[in-house]
Amino acid sequence: FFFDPKMQGYSYDQPNHAIYIRNINEKVKRDELIKSLWAVFQQFGEILDICARPKKQTLRGQAWVVFRDIQSATAALRQMQGYMFHNKQLTISYSRQKSDAIAKLDGTYVERKKPREKKKRKAAAQDESAAKRRRGPQPAGRGGQNPPNNVLFVEQLPENNDDTQQMLTVLFQNFQGFREVRMPPSNAGVAFAEFDVEPNATNALTNLQGFRITPENELKVSYAKR
């Protein structure tokens, strides 16, 4: 992942294409962690690589996200500092090291010997079949606001994107009481997020209102019509 193990003058306050993220919930499995990081950081620009190795004792609770340009990394560092991610507040700084992905782009990459990796066990279990979607509540009429309740109506989503439901789940599961995200097949660009009780739904609404799920899509969140 990293080009220079000796760091060659990089420091935490020196702008870098890669950001170093600490205080990550150690209970999150690697595959889920990488998907989650991708979902919340892709709004800032093109991601070239994400490194997370929660199984290695010395690297638990840490990750690196590499952007194509430093401006994207800087925006991510500033806007996501202290963000609640899987129930823990992120601490973000610039990486001290230059990533292999950037070194390969600018022609400074030097191949080095890699330690023999242990064979990874293939996952035996497949993802459980998605539960049958219940008929979701109807969205609010334009111009009107519905009373607070435990179901949120989410608009301005990317259309024709198979990853949208997964990205929303990653975002909303950071809030207490989250149950599920439902996407009506007939309504492109909208979804419903259900919580156990109204206060938890309100907390998610407040924190994710205007969140950019992609550079072009800013979430509009309201209470669903009951």
**Which of 30-34, 42-46, 52-56 has the lowest average pLDDT?**
52-56
Tally Cβ neighbours within 10 Å of residue 39.
19
- Dump pLDDT digits (tens) for 102-130: 888 878 877 766 555 444 444 444 444 44
Compute the distance between CA of residue 46 and CA of residue 137 in angstroms, rounded to an integer. 35
pLDDT for residue 76 is more than 90:
yes
For the chain, the average pLDDT equals 78
Query: Quick one: pLDDT at residue 126?
Result: 42
Q: Choose between 89 and 108: higher pLDDT.
A: 89
Q: What b/e string do you get for 60-86 counting C-beta neighbours within 10 Å, with b at 16 or more?
A: eebbbbbbeeeebbbbbbeebeebebb
Pairing verdict, β 88-89 and 151-155: unpaired
Q: Choose between 208 and 137: higher pLDDT.
A: 208
Q: Is 121 helix (H, G, I), strand (E, B) or coil?
A: coil
Candidate ranges 20-34, 42-56, 70-84, 181-195; pick with highest mean pLDDT: 70-84
User: 221: Cβ–Cβ under 8 A, 6 or more apart, which residues?
Assistant: 152, 153, 154, 155, 193, 204, 205, 208, 209
- Dump pLDDT digits (tens) for 135-176: 445 454 444 578 999 999 999 988 766 678 888 888 898 888
DSSP symbol at 211? -
